[in-house]
Amino acid sequence: MVTISRGFFGHHDSRAVDLPPGQHLTNGFPVLTAGPTQLISTEVWSFTITPEIGDPRRWSWEEMMALPSEEINVDIHCVTRWTKLGTHWRGVALDTFFEDIATDNEYAMVHSYGGYTTNLPLEDLVGGKAWIVYEYEGEPLQVEHGGPARLLVPHLYFWKSAKWVKGITMQRFDEPGFWEGFGYHNYGNPWREERYAGD
Ligand SMILES: Nc1nc2c(c(=O)[nH]1)N[C@H]1C(S)=C(S)[C@@H](COP(=O)(O)O)O[C@H]1N2
Ligand SMILES: [Mo]
């Protein structure tokens, strides 16, 4: 077990942990939800990408399961200052979904069952940086953590990883999502400590 950030050494130590500024390690997996947990069965669940112009494209659970999946091993960083290292997920890269979408909209709004939203640029969803995940540590994703499926965008603070993900609407112009509208940073890069608007 290693709990020393490389900041203490001032140089990279291979035994030290890559911890973004202002974060501490947790071994647990805290649950953070604004509002009630959403109970969505896989029969009901679907995922829709809606371009600003053109037809929406929808995937049922079975259709998503037929897509190529990947094992994802990443660190996750919550704006409330916990970081969890080496989490394992299985899911489908957003690149795979976006192969079917023709859009020149640069911004995305992610929508969840229950009404949660979060905004990010399209370029942060593609290029092997984001997934729709449905397994955590080899088990079906627990409902508290967004099961049956959530977005995983580990290079940004974890509030961008929408639980119970339902769809993405493409936009020509950026707009704040739920937490972004309450003063969280619009982008949320943990390495630059972009926690709140103005950071
Ligand atoms: N639908 C939905 N997704 C959400 C949230 C939420 O309240 N609703 N909270 C966000 C926040 S602030 C964090 S830190 C993570 C927490 O995920 P966890 O509960 O699996 O740790 O989910 C994010 N995704
Ligand atoms: Mo959070």
Spatial contact of 94 and 130, defined as CB atoms under 8 Å apart: yes
Q: In angstroms, what is the span from residue 159 Cα to ligand 1's centroid?
A: 5
Structural domain harbouring 166: 28-192
Whether the predicted pLDDT of 126 surpasses 90: yes
> Is 198 within a domain?
no
> Is 14 within a domain?
no
Ligand 1, pocket residues at CB < 6 Å: 29-34, 78, 112, 114, 116, 145-146, 158-159, 161-164
Whether the predicted pLDDT of 100 surpasses 70: yes
Long-range contacts at 36-45 (CB < 8 A, ≥ 24 apart): 36/114, 37/143, 37/144, 38/112, 38/113, 38/114, 38/143, 38/163, 38/164, 39/143, 40/113, 40/148, 40/164, 41/148, 42/148, 45/113, 45/148, 45/149
pLDDT reported for residue 16:
67
Domain total of the chain: 1
Higher pLDDT, 8 or 84: 84
Averaged pLDDT, 6-16? 45
Lowest mean pLDDT among 6-15, 50-59, 145-154, 162-171: 6-15
pLDDT reported for residue 17:
76
> Is 1 within a domain?
no
Ligand minimally distant from the alpha carbon of residue 163: 1
User: CATH number of the domain that 188 lies in?
Assistant: 3.90.420.10
Q: Maximum CA pair distance of the chain?
A: 54
pLDDT reported for residue 38:
98
Reported confidence tier of residue 3, pLDDT bands at 50, 70, 90: very low
- Ligand 1 pocket test: which of 110, 163, 164, 178 has the largest number of ligand atoms within 8 Å of its C-beta? 163
> Is 3 within a domain?
no
Q: In angstroms, what is the span from residue 39 Cα to ligand 1's centroid?
A: 15
Q: In angstroms, what is the span from residue 197 Cα to ligand 2's centroid?
A: 15
Residue found under tokens 């049956």? 148
pLDDT reported for residue 18:
83
Mean pLDDT across the chain: 93
- Distance CA(102)–CA(85), nearest Å, equals 35
Question: HEC string of the chain?
Answer: CCCCEHHHCCCCCCCCECCCCCCEECCCCCCCCCCCCCCCCCCCCEEEEECCCCCCEEEEHHHHHCCCCEEEEEEEECCCCEEEEEEEEEEEEHHHHHCCCCCCCCEEEEEECCCCEEEEEHHHCCCCCCEEEEEECCEECCHHHCCCCEEECCCCCHHHCCCCEEEEEEECCCCCCHHHHCCECCCCCHHHCCCECCC
Q: How many residues are given for the chain?
A: 199
Q: In angstroms, what is the span from residue 11 Cα to ligand 2's centroid?
A: 29
Whether the predicted pLDDT of 1 surpasses 80: no
Whether the predicted pLDDT of 5 surpasses 50: no
Reported confidence tier of residue 7, pLDDT bands at 50, 70, 90: very low
Reported confidence tier of residue 15, pLDDT bands at 50, 70, 90: very low
Spatial contact of 67 and 146, defined as CB atoms under 8 Å apart: no
> Is 162 within a domain?
yes
> Is 197 within a domain?
no
Q: What is the atom index within ligand 1 of the atom nearest the CA of 33?
A: 7
Q: What percent of the chain has pLDDT over 70?
A: 92
> Is 21 within a domain?
no
> Is 128 within a domain?
yes
Reported confidence tier of residue 8, pLDDT bands at 50, 70, 90: very low
pLDDT reported for residue 94:
98
